[in-house]
Each structure stands twice: as C-alpha cells, then as structure tokens.
Amino acid sequence: MPYYDFENARSIGAIVLILLLCWALSEDRRRFPWAMMAGAIAVQATLVLLLFAIPNSKAALDGVNGVVGGLASATNRGTQFVFSYLGGGESPYALSNPDAPPPFIFGFQVLPLILVISALSALLWHWGILKLVIRGFGFVFEKTMGLGGASATATASNIFMGMVESPIVIKAYLDKLTRSELFLLMVVGLATVAGSTMVAYALILAPTLPNAAGHVLVASIISAPAGILLARTIIPEKAGVAAGGVDYTSELKYDSAMDAITKGVQDGFMVIVNVAAMLIVFVAFVWIINGILPTALGPVAMLLNPLLPESLDIYPDRATLQVIFGYVFAPLAWIIGIPAQEAHAAGSLLGVKLFLTEFIAFIELGMTPEGVISDRSRMIMTYALCGFANVASIGIMVGGLTTLMPGRRPEILGLAWKALAPGFLATCMSAAVVAALPRAMFG
C-alpha cells in the first residue's frame, strides 16, 4: 500500500470542512483567526512528528508504555490486597480452565488506576514537576497562538488535570476572563482529557493498539490547540483586547506531600464514583432504548424496507443506538480518513462518544474485532475519541465552573452547550491531522 493516498488527502479536506463549519457558527465571521490557524495546525503536526517520526522516538514511546504498564502493575498490587482475586489475585476456588488468564473486571482493574494517578498527579504538582510541564506547554501556546497568560496556562493545565481542576490553577484570574477566554476554557476542557482517565484509556486499548499509551497522550495534547482554534473561530476576541500576562503562582496548593496524596485520593475517588455511576446509568439506558427500538421502528421498517436497497434495510431486530449512530456519523468518520467499508463501525463509536461518554466508546473500540476495523483506523479513532466532549460532561463542567464563578452563572449556562460542538470537532480535527500525515510514520 502506498505511504500517501486519497485517504490521507481526504483528511485535509476534513480539516477545511471543520474550520468552515465553525466559521459558519462564528459570532463575527469577519474576524477569522488566520494566524492562529497556522499556529495550531503547525503545533499539532510538529508534536506528532516529534513523537512518531524522529529517530529514537519509538524508544520514547516504549518508555511511555512502560510507565503506564508499571503504574497498572503497581495498582493491581494494591487492588489485589484489598479485593483479592476480584482484583486479579489468585482465585480461592478451583477453575475450570486453570491456564486461562485472570478475568478482566473493569471496576477492579481500571477504576483503581484513576485513583492512583489522581494521587500521583497531586504529588507531582506539590513537588513542582507538573507545574513546570504545564508552564512549558503554556509558553508554547502563548507564543504560537497569541494566547494571554491565563488562557495559555489553563489550556496547558487541561491536558493533564481535566476540565474541572484546571480552572482552579487560574482561580484568581477567572473573574477577569473575557467572554471569548471563558468560552475557550470550556472548549479546551471538552476537547482534552485528564491524566487520570488518560492512563485508563491506554490500559483499555493496550491489547489491540500498539503504543496505546503514546497515542492517547499525544491525542490529548494535540487536541488542545485544535480546541483553541475552533473556540476563537466561533467567538473571536474583541478588537483592542490585548492578551494579558499572568504570573505562574496558583491557588491550587497543598500543605505537604501527605496532604497532596490525601486530597489526590479524595479527588480521584470522586472521579471513579462519577465514572462508575455514569457507566452504570448510560449502559442501562442503552439497553432500555435498544429494547424499545425494534418495537418502535417496526412500522417504519414495514413502510421503508420495500423502498430501500437491500444493504440499507431497517429490520427491527437490527435497530440499536449503535447502528443508528453508525449511519448518522459514518460521513464524518469517512471524511476524517476512515475507509468507506469501516465508516459505519467508526461512526457508531463517534456517536457513542458524543451521547454516551468517551469511556464507553473506548471500551467498544477495544472490543471491536480486527476484521471490522483496521489497525490504522483504530489509531485514528483513538484521536477522535480522546476528549470529554459529551452530553454528560456539560453538566459536570457547568457544576464546576459555576461553583468557582457564581457571579457568571448565566454566562456559563449560555456558553456551555455552545461549547459542545467545537469540543467534539476538535478531537475529530486532531484525528484528521494524524490521518493526513504519511502512514510510514506509524509503521
């Protein structure tokens, strides 16, 4: 297969189409951020090239995967100590197949990892290591895309800390943010994921995606500039408003290393409770809706099936949310670089991500057989799914921001749903950028 073909070129069209769509939604179409567009795409392409194309990059990615594997292994030790064989320990009962690997139980082997990473992130913040990393990314966003210091810092924080925690980093500046900066903060929060969930996604995808941890990390990083660009396209900064500087002191502080670990565990516990609760409820809703759809669509199928080609029949027993999502989002999956024969499966994942959370989408991606989706498409979909932009996240984001900025509650409520579309499209744009690059980079 050639290293560059129509599928790569088609992805460039997807980038243009996404920008045109956001421009059509713009509050001021005369002020398209041309310089920011060049900076954002350059930052995205450069980061991908640095992490996948330079000599010895494979060793660096192997190191990332090794770190994730080590964290998962260490977490399993703690989980096994508390939950015994449910966490992967030795079974106290005779097994029908003793040679089979321990059963994979999501609640005991993925969710505890979020707890450990949350505590580790708080500790790294207290030691100043995470602050330096965030400051470095903030400097890049400030210089390449002209962001103000507060927006650049919050954007960099979003890559590692999530959409609720990152505003705390610039809490002293929240009331000074312009409407455009506030919208940008929301969009980038929806376009990226937190470090704790990032590692969990990598663990889910590891059996089916080579360099899963590296791809998930890069996906969250490069979606940040895409979110910045799409946010500023829809709500440009007013003319004459200068980008303000910011000192890098933060109101997010811990009294000691033990205080950081304790509060990190507490924050992580709230995250895993929310994730577990959302998964239980949304999976239950999917089963309820999928149980109702065949009956509800029965009359529709009787009317339409005689009029449609056999390949597009709507038999009630095939009517599920995932199938419907597949048809609705297949064109988007195709335009970002997925082959036509795989577009329905990929489109289904995009719909699941938008309406049922990215966690469920990643689980389904990890379970999708090789014959249904190719390795290259699986990699592209990892980038397309790696963001918090879904319906459930709107409520989480609004709750966090209104607590921090009670005086701006009406403004936050007015912008929240508007941020969902660019947040979702930002990850699709990242996927398109990756798909547009020569496939020789990825082996």
pLDDT at 307: 47
The tokens for 351 are 């719909």
Q: State the Cα–Cα distance between residues 237 and 179, nearest whole angstrom.
A: 8
Query: What pLDDT, on a 0 to 100 scale, did the predictor assign at position 1?
Result: 44
Q: How high is the pLDDT of residue 324? A: 83
Domain containing 261: what range? Answer: 6-89+102-282+381-437
Residue 162 inside a domain? The answer is yes
Query: pTM of the full predicted structure?
Result: 0.81
Residue 103's identity, in one-letter code, is P
Residue 153 domain flag = yes
Neighbours of 177 (CB within 10 A): 21
* Token digits of residue 374: 């190719």
From residue 396, how far is each of 99, 252, 334, 413 by CA, in Å?
A: 43, 20, 31, 12
238: DSSP letter: P
Q: What angle do the packed helices 358-367 and 257-304 form, to 10 degrees?
A: 70
Q: Does some domain include residue 55? A: yes
Residues 6+ apart with CB under 8 A from 174: 167, 404, 405
* pLDDT tens, N- to C-terminus, the chain (443 residues): 445 566 778 888 899 999 999 999 998 888 888 888 888 888 888 877 777 766 666 666 667 667 767 777 787 788 777 877 776 666 666 666 656 555 666 777 777 877 887 788 788 888 888 778 777 777 777 777 777 667 777 777 777 777 777 777 776 677 778 888 889 889 998 998 877 788 888 888 888 888 888 888 888 888 888 999 999 999 987 765 555 555 445 556 788 889 988 988 888 787 788 778 877 887 788 778 877 776 666 665 555 555 445 544 444 456 677 888 888 899 999 999 999 999 989 999 999 999 888 888 998 998 888 888 888 899 999 999 998 898 888 888 888 788 778 888 899 888 989 999 999 999 999 999 888 877 666 55
Domain count, the chain: 1
Cβ neighbours of residue 318 closer than 8 Å, sequence gap 6 or more: none
Instruction: List CB contacts of 105: < 8 A, sequence separation 6 or more.
Output: 86, 87, 88
Decide: helix, strand or coil at residue 378: helix
- The closest alpha carbon to 62, from 195, 199, 193, 210, belongs to 210
In a domain, 303, yes or no: no
Q: Is 53 helix (H, G, I), strand (E, B) or coil?
A: coil
* Domain annotation covers residue 59: yes
Residues 6+ apart with CB under 8 A from 287: none
At 87, the amino acid letter reads G
Query: Is 310 a domain residue?
Result: no
Inside any domain, residue 372: no
In this structure, what token pair is assigned to residue 324? 């419907």
- How far, CA to CA in Å, does 82 sit from each of 74, 104, 352? 13, 16, 33
Assess if residue 351 is contained within a domain.
Answer: no
Nearest to 432 by CA among 373, 389, 384, 386: 384
